[in-house]
Structure 1
């Protein structure tokens, strides 16, 4: 039977995957290695494995095939052979809302607890609406485009002409379905950047001034730097990261965006960097800190299954150390912008409390950006001012 074939393919993928790689990278390699899988096989296998991980640890004592069927029912508005085979009584309800489907699952499987989907729920920042946040894991987030230079209408028209539904959010943002292959539709990236909606909203905390000297100290591929530069092109910019390959990707991204004037350094911010930074003093520092990434797990649901709780305190201590090492290069009266894509209090409010107690900083404002209400990532941002 076809359903047995699909279940075997799912089982083989599940047993081959250990969480060490991001799931999308693992699947790319797995499908390349298993060339006997046709496009339909790959599509269904991807749907099943992603749906399965969105269930987290809920109903962990049930058979894996049944858990897959329940997850697939919750995550999709179209039926599947797995749903039809293992949950035939629920097939007719597949188009209901997530909330309605959760009620059906709870009534059919009383052991189901929504909090088991995200087993770290007691670590959440207090302002998070827990039920809404947990419900969001059954819906794939959107892909967001930040449009620059007044080109939003033009880009929206190009997308619509190609049959892509683009929802406008505010003056500069478009939302499209995740998986949309923008590079095959839009030419060049001088007028747009792929950037999550919540990540875009952190820019309101930057407030750069003309000729300011800014340091994006954990720059990765440079998304926050590009946002900063679009807010104020006439700044002096230093970007750094501990990973040279990330800065190579940043170079390419900056080139495509037309950003030419910047400095870059490979720096380990846990070390003493006085020799590299002895003559630097900044008007603003962006610390997009290494973190659990828990605010982005709607995009990487495998983390619901594989993340280990002890890593939360590891990241919290790492964030405290990095902030302590970079703030010495900040001018008095100038801002440190602290950002995470985490939903954990230990990485957010608790780190801010530590910085205020141990460093010459005062809090101007902070916010948990609740992307889970907009099919986006959830992020935390704080603006701290250096005192004397």
Structure 2
């Protein structure tokens, strides 16, 4: 049995190495891995699961232990990310009795051995928003986030019954927020269509900053696939909604999601908000504007840890400039006394507080509230949100 286990572990390592060798960082790793598995049909479901786990655990090291070989780094990644690991047992048996330790103790152990510097797990902490707890955030990078779903208002009992019937483990955070293990496949259950949306916990919490009222006019300026608009419309279905984004292909995806959610009445426009939208929007004014701004996405890299090794810090300032430009082009469309809700999924100050300061100092707003949504304490994404009122 021990011989088989060793053979199996080395086969898993070879699969890991083949997958990593073909990845060039030019696309999300999840998309690359789907193609890789299609091209390697000899890999069974167990092989696919182990390859995915090893690769993602490896990426979770960020730039830590870069002085070591790939295989040695993989051992450290498995040690940190798993409580049980045949790979660690075979390649580093001295670590076996420490696999069950807390993550803090594992990190401290590797630091004491001179193998790891905690800050290299996410080597951009100097750019953090001041509200971020650096130690907790770094630790969170080694833990796979949960899958969160938002339950359509009034459908909680039906959704729970479907999950129970299919024996899907879940935790209920509220009537509308449910947490599941990452990797849970919900597409198999057609009865859930129209009853739920996959939406991260922090993203759901941005609703607290919108506060829509009946029949108000709202504009979701960088709507993408429509997650924030769906949140808004579920809370207040009578809102008169305009959605916009840069490309029609993005808005078609939004149309599909809206259709599944039963939302029929809304307007949409293709808008490049690096330019003045006046030729299209004219003198229109809104009771609320959501600016879910393009950003580095650094608060979501717990889900896409491959981003850490590819990231260049010059991007932070590039996005900050873009965010200020877009904010300056949407600010004039907010009615006096009404909110601009500024949102990013970034943990960087230049994209968060610095942009808010720019809006306050240059665009005629006052700050009502702002917060870093610290998803890193709840196995969720980390986001930033501010509610600014037009003067």
The answer on 1:106 being equivalent to 2:111 is yes
Structure-2 separation of matches of 1:184 and 1:100: 39
| Partner residue in 1 for 2:44 | 38
1:94 matched residue in structure 2:
99
Aligned partner of residue 191 in structure 2, secondary structure: coil
Q: CA deviation at 1:195?
A: 0.7
Pick from 232, 244, 250 the counterpart of residue 228 of structure 1.
232
- Contact 2:162–2:192 (Cα < 8 Å) also in 1: no
1:183 counterpart SS class:
coil
Distance (whole Å) between structure 2 residues aligned to residue 37 and residue 188 of structure 1: 31
Q: Is residue 153–residue 235 contact of structure 2 (8 Å, CA) maintained in 1? A: no
How far apart are residue 242 of structure 1 and its match? 0.6
Once residues 37 and 183 of structure 1 are traced to their aligned partners in structure 2, the CA distance between those partners, rounded to angstroms, is 23
| Aligned counterpart, 2:310 | 306
Cα drift, residue 205 of structure 1: 0.5
In structure 2, distance between residues paired with 1:248 and 1:375 = 31
Is residue 159–residue 185 contact of structure 1 (8 Å, CA) maintained in 2?
A: no
Report the alpha carbon displacement of residue 279 of structure 1 after superposing the two structures with TM. 4.0
Distance 1:156 1:142 in 2: 18
In structure 2, relative to structure 1, the CA distance for the partners of 1:138 and 1:186 (3 Å cut) is: farther
Which runs of structure 2 are paired with 1:176-215 in the superposition (5 Å)? 176-215=180-219
Matched residue SS, 1:83? helix
Q: Is the 8 A contact 2:111 2:118 kept in 1?
A: no
Q: State the 1:368 CA deviation.
A: 0.5
Q: Is the 8 A contact 1:152 1:173 kept in 2?
A: no
* 1:74-108 deviation digits (Å, cap 9, x = unpaired): 1122213x21232211123323321222223223x
2:3 is matched with: none
Root mean square deviation, CA, Å: 1.3
Residue in 2 that maps onto 1:342: 346
1:1-388 counterparts in 2 under 5 A?
Answer: 1-80=7-86, 82-107=87-112, 109-387=113-391
**Larger mean Cα displacement after TM superposition, 213-222 or 85-94:** 85-94
Contact 1:330 1:386 in 2 (8 A): yes
How many residues align? The count is: 385
Secondary structure (helix, strand or coil) at the match of 1:182 reads: coil
TM-score, normalisation: structure 1 = 0.96
Q: What is the alpha-carbon distance in structure 2 between the residues aligned to residue 179 and residue 6 of structure 1?
A: 20
Instruction: Quote the Cα distance in structure 1 between the aligned partners of 2:125 and 2:27.
Output: 24
1:298 aligned counterpart, secondary structure: coil
Distance in 1 of aligned mates of 2:220 and 2:63: 37
